[in-house]
A and B are shown apart, each in its own frame.
Chain A
Amino acid sequence: MVENQTQTAQQPSQAAESISAIDLKGVSKSFGPVQANKDINLTVKRNSIHGIVGENGAGKSTLMSILYGFYTADAGEIFVHGAKVKIKDSSHALDLGIGMVHQHFMLVENFTVLENVILGAEGDHLLASSKAAAREELTRLANDYGLDVDPDAIIEDLSVGQEQRVEILKALYRGADVLILDEPTGVLTPTEADQLFRILEQLRDEGKTIILITHKLREIMAITDTVSVMRRGTMVGTVATKDTSPDQLAEMMVGRRVLLQVEKTESKPGDKVLEVENLSVTDDIGVPRVKNVSLDVRAGEIVGIAGVAGNGQSQLLEAISGMFPPLLGEVRINGKKIEFSGAGVADEVRRMGLAHVPEDRHKMGLVTTFEEWENSMLGYEDDPKFGDGPILSVSNARADAQKRIEMFDIRPQNPRLKTANFSGGNQQKIVLAREMDRDLDILIVGQPTRGVDIGAIEFIHKQIIELRDQGKAVLLVSVELDEVRALSDRVLVMFDGEIVTELPPTASEKEFGLAMAGLDPAQQ
């Protein structure tokens, strides 16, 4: 019903200018056999916040990379403020007034804010003069847009939210008046996200144009004026935000009705399967990451750990799964203590009935250069079913992979295909199929749906709930608060390496927000 529907977006507030900030006409781009963008038309009005939503692989990032000069389009035209341009590279894009804030910040950690801002735009051979000019400009920008950051602070001392402001300042300093933000809230607490939105609104009111790429429908509804939906490389439609709803957007993104709510019954917790007692972890360079954490997970329940990324969740998962020895404390599975000594602890922990879906499938969960069937046995290669003794039975391993492919509906259904050629959602399914289809007692799972499209999210959530209903224990870590709340039976909030509090999943967003910022809501 929403197919190809293109409504004229409602003109936001004051500036009723006829020329749009960005106009893309018939833009196409393909990588080898994959067409990432197909005949895209997009009009971004001046002085508006324009959201672009779409599943992973829908082509959002590719489109923005074309606009920012990282890629050259195979076909199509680009107009910036009405003038036809051919964007050669990112510095050309900057000259045209297009700035980008990347998902992963591109800052020099041990430089000051000021030094980062002038980086690449030093202007003079001697730094002092450009620094002085930049300082003045920064003060002006800070006053105009409410972007307060100490110009002399070192980047690594800043919070993630502040680092993001530096990125925005960087773009503004170079004279950007069209600002592209790629998934800007992924690393922010709800409070920081709100602050960011206020800044974005202010920027819009001061005459800037914002393009916001996100997959979070709530943010789209909260802040954008207009929203464009992409699916499989095509532009499905552009609608005024006030005329649409999250359900409609989700339908446009996926092409069918989607259950945004997770359906689950009351949990029936059984015996303690995982017990973590006074666990402390320091990382390689001696920084304490996990501080005296104790928790239990019982059979038949999902315990969620909420928190902003980088508050010790990764280290907690690594310690429990035997990948990294903790400094202090004890971890027991089914009452049996994990011995953290020597090599191959992770292997031993697996044998004790723990399955681990790691947070980062590219870095850890998969060897993307391997064929699918090889990843389908990663970590379990010593299992006798993959061959006797030292010999690897390739035929058995491939048959096993084929079975998992069918069970988890991994596409394409080809165990001989290189893993890098699967989409994000299917790669995640490869990991899940490997870890979940086992004789396991506890599943620990980190960011189960990061970079996964909505259709696959639905499937993955269903699998996790099903596992719980079979009486298995699940420990879930996710930075997506919505996901933690939707799946978990109990939620622990982690901040700065500590479990700050336990909340029921029904607790309000404000309570979670406070806890994720390190404040115990009970004491407020």
Chain B
Amino acid sequence: MSGARQPLPSWALNVLMPAMNVLLALFVGGLAVALIGENPIEAMRVLAYGAFGSGYGLGFTLHYATSLTFTGLAVAVAYHSGLFNIGGEGQAYVAGLGAIMMALWLDQTHWVFVLVGSIVGAMTLGALWAAIPGYLQAKRGSHIVITTIMFNFIASAFMSYMLAQVITNPGANAETRTIAETGRIPLLSEYFEFFKHSPVNIMLIFGILALIGVYILLWRTKLGFKIRTLGQNPEAARYAGISAVSIIVIAMAISGALAGMMAVNEAVSVQKRLVVGYVQGFGFIGIAVAFMGRAHPVGIVLAAILFGALYQGGVELAFVMPAVPSELVLVIQALVILFSGAMDEMFKPVLERVFGAFRSKPRTDDSTATEEA
């Protein structure tokens, strides 16, 4: 209620604020490290070095970032249509089935066919799995948050059954057989020595394409305009003659298809088989990525790299500094999610005051005067 506040310029809102949140999270994480008697500066150095210091580390970081780009974009697309899709986890999991089935079917041909086939398979099943809650929301009014959560559980149970009973590898424990040598999608390290044996693979390029594609979809197509209209003002969408039912189903299908792409990056390209619970929470971290990235591709790519780096650097930290328990690494990741997701706007009032103090005197401008007070 102080008069000195100023609305923030977009760079402060979209760059400065998230950066401050991350720094604060790392600071608090550092305190936790200090509390157990380790050197926090050293821990942060190890974390950063582990994530970016070598081609090997960078390869892991980029690989994780690729998965998070897909799940983050998935959340963002749904978010622009006004829906909170928190079922990325289940969508990516079920999509794994489509991906691996296509891969196993085509693995005697050539990896290009495996790549294309598994992308198609993953996107189809991911889209389908997300479109069902979308349809239920649009037609029956079942709340998308509830249904997508429930669909995560259904996915989990369904996939356990499939992997244990249906497409299982008899010798192993609840997983499919491994993709044959001929059909294995190459890792980037096969072309660039720099990446050593890290898992970053061709899907990195598809991740970049997805970022560009989502930008074009949302801001350069008529469908995207309709999606955003519905998300920003459903009444205006109704007025404009936009069918909420079809837009919701389409947006959710696109969202699920994007989440599904993770399966090709992780299961098909790297693990080369589908194992139980392969998603490992990446669908959920995608929510944090989308929000921290302000549901915009540019923000999402930065947030995905940050979380990818935390994931990889955390593994490194637990390895190099054994005194730091792996749970503490999780704590640091959680702090980033907490500060940049849940407590995202914490610095906003402070920044508004700071900007207010440095801004020139207000001018009278009747052309922009609004009085809705």
Contacts and interface: CB of A to CB of B under 8 A. Distances in A.
Interface string A55-66: 011111110010
A365 interface: yes
B221 interface: yes
B3 A29 contact: yes
B192 interface: no
14 contacts: A32-B6, A34-B362, A35-B362, A56-B371, A71-B373, A323-B239, A347-B240, A368-B233, A370-B229, A379-B239, A381-B222, A381-B225, A391-B220, A421-B368
Contacts of B280: none
A327 B369 CA distance: 43
A165 B17 CA distance: 48
A420 interface: yes
Given A366-B236, A369-B232, A232 B241 contact: no
B229 A367 contact: yes
B222 A382 contact: yes
Interface string B1-33: 111001100000000000000000000000000
Interface string A331-367: 0000000000001111111100000101000011111
Contact of B238 (A62, A71, A323, A368): A323
B109 interface: no
Given A35-B363, A349-B241, A379-B240, 14 more contacts: A32-B362, A35-B364, A36-B373, A61-B373, A232-B369, A346-B239, A364-B239, A367-B232, A381-B225, A420-B370, A422-B370, A423-B366, A423-B368, A426-B367
A286 interface: no
Interface residues of B, number: 39
Contacts, number: 143
A65 B239 contact: no
Given A71-B373, A344-B242, A356-B239, A233 B364 contact: yes
A57 B235 contact: no
A60 B224 CA distance: 40
B245 interface: yes
Interface in A367-402: 367-370, 374, 378-379, 381-382, 386-387, 390-392, 394
B238 A346 contact: yes
A285 to B, nearest CB: 14
A70 interface: yes
Contact of B235 (A347, A364, A381, A424): A364
A30 interface: yes
A58 B224 contact: no
Contacts of A390: 221-223
Interface in B207-264: 219-226, 228-229, 232-233, 235-236, 238-246
A26 B226 CA distance: 48
A367 B1 contact: no
B365 interface: yes
Contacts of B240: 346-347, 378-379, 381
A485 B369 CA distance: 30
Contacts of A369: 232-233
A38 B244 CA distance: 45
A72 interface: yes
Nearest to B220: A392
A350 B241 CA distance: 9
Contact of A367 (B221, B233, B246): B233
Contacts of A136: none
Nearest to B356: A32
A322 interface: yes
A366 B242 CA distance: 14
A411 interface: yes
A33 B373 contact: no
- For the complex of A and B, the 10 pairs showing the least CB-CB separation, nearest first, are A347-B241, A343-B243, A346-B241, A379-B240, A74-B3, A30-B362, A57-B369, A57-B371, A364-B239, A367-B233
B371 A36 contact: yes
B241 A344 contact: yes
Contacts of B229: 367, 370, 378
A366 B7 CA distance: 22
Which of A349, A363, A364, A421 is the most central at the interface, judged by chain B CB atoms within 10 Å of its CB? A364
Nearest to B2: A72
A412 interface: yes
A424 B232 contact: no
A366 B241 CA distance: 13
Contacts of A391: 220-222
Contacts of B369: 34, 36, 57, 232-233, 423
Contacts of B238: 323, 346, 364
Q: Taking each of A57, A58, A369, which has the highest tally of chain B beta carbons within 10 Å of its own beta carbon?
A: A57
Given A233-B364, A423-B370, A358 B1 contact: no
Nearest to A62: B373
Given A32-B6, A72-B1, A370-B232, A232 B364 contact: yes
Q: Which of B222, B229, B241 has the most CB of A within 10 A?
A: B241
B222 A422 contact: no
B5 to A, nearest CB: 8
A345 B226 CA distance: 15
* Most central of B239, B243, B371 by chain A CB within 10 Å: B371
B38 to A, nearest CB: 46
Nearest to A427: B370
B222 A412 contact: no
A61 B239 CA distance: 30
A373 B52 CA distance: 43
Given A347-B241, A379-B240, A390-B221, A363 B371 contact: no
Nearest to A377: B225
Contacts of A374: 225
Contact of B222 (A32, A364, A392, A426): A392
Residue of B7, B222, B226, B235 with most chain A CB atoms under a 10 A cut-off: B222
A377 to B, nearest CB: 8
Q: Kindly name the residue among B3, B224, B225, B363 whose own CB sees the greatest number of chain A CB atoms within 10 A.
A: B225
A378 B373 contact: no
A358 B364 CA distance: 31
A71 B373 CA distance: 9
Q: Of residues B219, B233, B369, which shows the largest number of chain A Cβ atoms within 10 Å of its Cβ?
A: B369
A365 B368 contact: no
B134 to A, nearest CB: 15
Contact of A34 (B221, B244, B246, B365): B365
A57 B245 CA distance: 38
Contacts of A420: 370
Contacts of A421: 368, 370
A302 to B, nearest CB: 22
A73 B2 CA distance: 9
A261 to B, nearest CB: 26
A266 to B, nearest CB: 34
Interface in A16-59: 29-30, 32-36, 38, 56-59
A371 B57 CA distance: 42
B371 A71 contact: no
Contacts of B221: 390-392
A57 B370 contact: yes
Contact of A411 (B2, B241, B367, B371): B367
A367 B224 CA distance: 14
B279 to A, nearest CB: 31
A173 B365 CA distance: 41
A345 B362 contact: no
Nearest to B243: A343
A363 B235 contact: yes
Interface string B128-171: 00000000000000000000000000000000000000000000
Given A57-B366, A343-B243, A423-B368, A378 B236 contact: yes
A347 B246 CA distance: 14
A217 B3 CA distance: 33
Interface in B346-373: 362-371, 373
